Structures are given as structure tokens and as C-alpha cells.
A and B are shown apart, each in its own frame.
Chain A
Amino acid sequence: MRRFSTLCYKELLRFFKVSIQTVGAPVLTTLLYLVIFGHALEGRLEVYRGVRYTVFLVPGLVMMAVLQNAFANSSSSLIQSKITGNIVFVLLAPVSYVEFFAAYVVASIVRGLVVGLCVLAVTLFFVDLPLHAPLWALAFALLGAALLGTLGLVAAVVSDKIDQVAAFQNFVVVPLTFLSGVFYSIHTLPPFWQRLSHANPFFYMVDGFRYGFFGASDFAPAASLAIVFASLLAVCSATLWLLKSGYKLRY
């Protein structure tokens, strides 16, 4: 337990020490999205009856911040440790692969939730947001952050360079979040793209998270939760197997 808590604490300390980059920057980015898209699209779109577009946009932006920051935490920390070589301090110690996994993922969840909460708090100055079912929102935020934290871990384990992690982020994480319905309801899409969106696990996270605020969603929240949970289990098992094998960590 001590080994896990120390490694987790180290990961948290790392991101708190650079909180301008790790918390301040994503809050600013999200605000820019809100201002720009809100300004451009306010009044032209009404996704849910009686919900203004900027209000509709906020939960999606919050979830996007949660997901991207959870991914960024584990991936950037581990790839930096691998490149600078200081990962050796953990590898030399009697830390098991399960403790290693849990520490990185839990720290990623915390980073995702902290950034998400900050983004939410700041946007509340601009919009009045209903909160229909907070526990649903929390459940989706937790599972989504865990899933992306785990993916970040995988990206860093298999990569040898920072560029490779960035490629994973740019070609996988960003497209999947942007196409998950952060900025729109998938019901506004042509049928082909609607079907395709249903194959994107990020869609269920964002849609379910939004249900927590509006009590309305594109897909049944319980089914979304089950799908997200199943994805998380699958990715976690694969990651644990990868870590157990020592792939690109212990040669």
C-alpha cells in the first residue's frame, strides 16, 4: 500500500508543482472553445428543447478536459521518466506491476477530475447549468478519466519518443473526443455518421456525462455506463498484461 501511495503521491506532486501548465492551460483552452463556439453558434442551434447552445456545450467541454488531461497525465509523466531515465528508481524498487498501474491511473483520474472541476467552476460564471443527476455525471467522469489514464499509460509504455505519444494523442484521442458529440448531438448527423458515432466509446462517456446535467441524452445512460465500463475493463486487462510482460520497461 505504501509503495502504491508513494508513487501516486509522486505523480500528484508532479502535476501540482506545474499547475499553471497542467490546470491553468486546459481551463483557458476550454474557455476559448466556449467563447468562440458559443459566439458563433448561439441562437442557431437548440439541441435539447429549452437548452441554450452555450449551456449545452459546457458539460461536453468539461468532459473533454477530464479525458484529455487524464490521458496527458499518465502519458507525459511516464514518457518523460523513460526518456530521462529516472523510471529506473521505480523499476529498481520492489514495486509490483499492479501497484505501478494503479498509481499512474489513480493520479490520472485525480488530475482529470481536478481540471474538470476547475473548468466547470469557471464556466459557471458565464452560464446557468442545471444539475439533474450529479452521481451519473460523477460516474461517467470517473470511468472516463480511468479509461484515458490507462490509455495514456499504454501510449507511454509502447513509445520511445515524445513525438510518438503526441501522435497517439493527435491521431487517436483528439479525433475520438471531437467526434464524440462534445459540440453537437449526434442526432443532428446523417445516418451513416450517427452509426459510426455509436462505435466510438468516447461518445458514450460524453453523452452519459451530459445526462447528469440535463436529464436528457442521445443514448440510454445505463447502457452507456455499461459500455464505458466494459471498455475500461478490456483496456485495463490489456494494459496489466503489457506491464506484467515488462514490455519496453524491463528488457
Chain B
Amino acid sequence: MAEGEFFGLLGPNGAGKTTLINVIAGLVRPDAGRAAVMGADVGRDYRRARRMLGVVPQELVFDPFFTVRETLRLQSGYYGLARNDGWIDEVMHHLDLTAKADANMRSLSGGMKRRVLVAQALVHKPPVIVLDEPTAGVDVELRQGLWQFVRRLNRDGHSIVLTTHYLEEAEAHCQRIALLKDGRIAALDATRSLLGSFSGLDLRLHLDRAALPVGIPGRVVEADGAHFRVRLATYRELEDALVRLREAGVGIREMEVHPPDLEEVFLRLTGRGS
């Protein structure tokens, strides 16, 4: 991964995303191979490696004995930082935590706890920030605020690693993506070229008859009575398909349009899909 990059680590559950991150963070020792953060080996040069790295863990962990400010001060101290209140205030401000600064961690909502986790990962201004599924169980408002803040950090020169289940998130933010499967990299490419090869729409139709008119663009993936799944390449094709249905006098009872989901991308990548 290059310096300053916004990098996506994608994969289904159990693909090894979190394990990989834990190796980089020094929480798991690799059976083989090595990892380095900004050139610092995570084993031999662990102090430098960990100072370079800020990790937002996936689980909502917190210490119920302390307030938000205490938590952030303690975290600064673990990195050897003495007077860090200026930066702590700034981070709390950007994450909308200022009003909760003196609230006990126990009393915070899930979304607020997630923000504190982000703040904790930033107390030492690490050049590399890892977000492990940061939006799992987080409401829309926080999600947007979070992305705004992370994008700003990336503009300011921080390298970002994001793991996620959601293709849209990776698509929206990441410059490059690695797809993990069973602990191996199944694909690694710039986001645009990677997703370009999987672009398209999944059109699901419930018609008033059990036959599709001829001339419908795309490829029929599934046909079950009056239910059809058609794979289209573009929205233009979607328009054409609807026009074709109208011309043939076929009525639509239900219709859904989906972008390709990650599972499907994986199935295709590993050559087991249709």
C-alpha cells in the first residue's frame, strides 16, 4: 500500500480482514512472513510501528470506569504524550463529542462509543489509520459525519485502510481495493477498474405472464414462472427493457433493481458463479 492512499480491504465474513489488521497492529503474531508500518517492522521495531498506526477496532470496546476525556487522556499517555489536550479537544470537536466529554463511557449510545473509538485511534496523530468495519451498526447521520472526517484526514496526508462488507462504501472512498478470500488476495486493483469489470444491474421482475417478450436486452439469469432475473450492463439497457415490455403489452407487477453485491463479485472472481 502506498503512502497517502485510501485503501479498501474487502471480503466476506471470515476472509481474514481482521486477522490481517491484527497482524499489522501487533495483536496477532504471523505464522510466516512479516508486516511493516512506514518501514517499521511490527515485531522488531514495534514502538515505531505502533506510533505510526491508529486502529479503530471492529468491536465496540470501552472501559466503563472512565469518561470520554479521561479515556482520551489515558490513550495519549500510552503513546507517551503528556500535554495533548489541545489535540484531544480538536478531535472531539470534529467527531461531535465535545458535549459528551465528561460523560461516562457506559452512558454513551453505540454510535457515540464508536466515535470515541475513532478519537482514541487518532490521539497520537498516526500517519496510517485503520478502520475495521467502522459503519457496522452506525446510523446514517454518524456514517456521513465519519466519512467526511476520514476523507479530510486522507486529504491532510493520512493513509487510510478501510475494511468493509459494503461495496458502495469502498467504491465511494477507496482509491485501490484488495479483495480477500480465505486469507488470500483474490484481486488487487484500482477501484474503478476493479468495479468496472463488475458493473451492471440486477433487474428482478414479476410480470403478469410467464414469458419475457423477445428483444429484452441483457442476459436472463433466472426464470421461475412469472419471476425473472435479468443482468443488465447499464441504466440505458434498463430503459430499453422497460420500453420493450410496454411495446409488447406486458404488465409489471413488481420490479426491483440492484447493483451487483459483493457476494456475487466474489463468486465470479473465484470462478464459481454463473
List residues of A whose CB falls within 8 A of some B CB: 2-3, 5-7, 9-10, 13-14, 17-18, 81, 84-86, 88-96, 246, 250-251
Q: Is the interface of A mostly helix, strand, loop or mixed?
A: helix
With known contacts A89-B120, A94-B46, A246-B29, A14–B78 Cβ distance under 8 A: no
10 A-B pairs with the lowest CB-CB distances in the bound complex, closest first: A6-B77, A93-B78, A85-B61, A94-B47, A94-B50, A2-B80, A86-B63, A86-B61, A14-B65, A251-B28
B25 touching A92 by the CB < 8 A rule? Answer: yes
Query: In angstroms, how far is the closest chain B Cβ from the Cβ of A161?
Result: 18
Q: Tell me, in angstroms, the Cα distance from A246 to B30 when the chains sit together.
A: 13
- List B residues 55-76 near A (Cβ within 8 Å): 55, 57, 59, 61-66, 70, 74-76
Take A9-B77, A94-B80 as given contacts and tell me if A250 and B29 are in contact as well, using a CB distance cutoff of 8 Å.
Answer: yes
Which residues of chain A are near B76, meaning CB under 8 Å?
6
Report the count of interface residues on B (CB-CB < 8 A). Answer: 32
Is B81 an interface residue when CB atoms closer than 8 A count as contact?
yes
Known: A13-B70, A81-B63, A86-B62. 5 other contacts (CB 8 A): A88-B27, A89-B61, A89-B63, A93-B75, A94-B79
| B window 73-112: CB within 8 A of A | 74-82
Chain A residue numbers with a CB within 8 Å of B46 are 94
B200 part of interface (Cβ distance < 8 Å): no
B75-A2 in contact (CB<8A): no
Query: In whole Å, how far is A195's beta carbon from the nearest beta carbon of chain B?
Result: 45
Is the beta-carbon distance between A6 and B78 smaller than 8 angstroms?
A: yes
Closest CB of chain B to A224's CB: distance in Å? 37
Q: Which chain A positions have C-beta within 8 A of B59?
A: 85
Cross-interface CB contact of B50 among A2, A84, A88, A92, cutoff 8 Å: A92
A-B contact count (CB 8 A): 78
**Docked pose: A6 CA to B79 CA in angstroms:** 9
Query: Which residues from A are CB-within-8-Å of B48?
Result: 94
Residue on B nearest A84 in the bound complex, by CB: B61
Which of A5, A17, A91 touches B26 (beta carbons < 8 Å)? A91
Cβ B78 vs Cβ A89 within 8 A: yes
Q: Is B78 a contact of A90 with CB atoms below 8 Å?
A: yes
Specify the chain A residue showing the minimal Cβ separation from B60: A85
> A212 to B78, alpha carbons, bound, how many Å?
39
B7–chain A nearest beta-carbon distance, Å: 19
Contact A6 B74 (CB under 8 A): yes
Complex contacts, A81 vs chain B, CB 8 Å: 63
Contacts of B77 in A (CB 8 A): 2-3, 5-7, 9-10
A250 CA / B47 CA spacing, docked (Å): 15
Closest A residue to B71 by CB, please name it.
A89
Q: Which residues of B contact A2 (CB under 8 A)?
A: 77, 80-82
Q: Are B65 and A13 in contact (CB under 8 A)?
A: yes
B229 on interface, CB distance cutoff 8 Å: no
B51 on interface, CB distance cutoff 8 Å: yes
Q: How far is the CB of A43 from chain B (nearest CB, A)?
A: 46
**A14-B80 Cα distance, complex, nearest whole Å:** 20
Given known A94-B46, A246-B29, A250-B26, contact A13–B75 (CB-CB < 8 A): no
- Contact between B29 and A93, CB atoms less than 8 A apart: no
B74 touches A10 (CB 8 A): yes
Chain A minimum-CB-distance residue to B50: A94
With A2-B82, A94-B50, A94-B80 given, is the CB distance from A89 to B27 under 8 Å?
A: no
Establish whether residues A89 and B75, one from each chain, have CB atoms under 8 Å apart when the complex forms. yes
Instruction: With both chains docked as a complex, state the minimum distance between the C-beta of A149 and any C-beta of chain B, in angstroms.
Output: 19
Report B-chain residues with C-beta under 8 Å of the C-beta of A84: 61-64
Q: How far is the CA of A81 from the CA of B74 in the complex (A)?
A: 15
- CB neighbors of A among B120-136 (8 A): 120
What's the Cα separation between A89 and B51 when bound, in Å? 13
Chain A residues whose CB sits within 8 angstroms of the CB of B66 once the complex forms? 10, 13
Assess the A92–B61 pair: CB atoms within 8 A.
no
B29 touching A251, Cβ below 8 Å: yes
Which chain A residue shows the least CB distance to B25? A92
Residues of A within 8 A of B57 (CB): 85, 88
- In the assembled complex, 12 residue pairs joining A and B whose CB atoms fall closer than 8 Å, in A order, are A3-B77, A6-B77, A9-B74, A10-B77, A84-B62, A85-B59, A89-B120, A92-B50, A93-B79, A94-B78, A95-B78, A251-B29
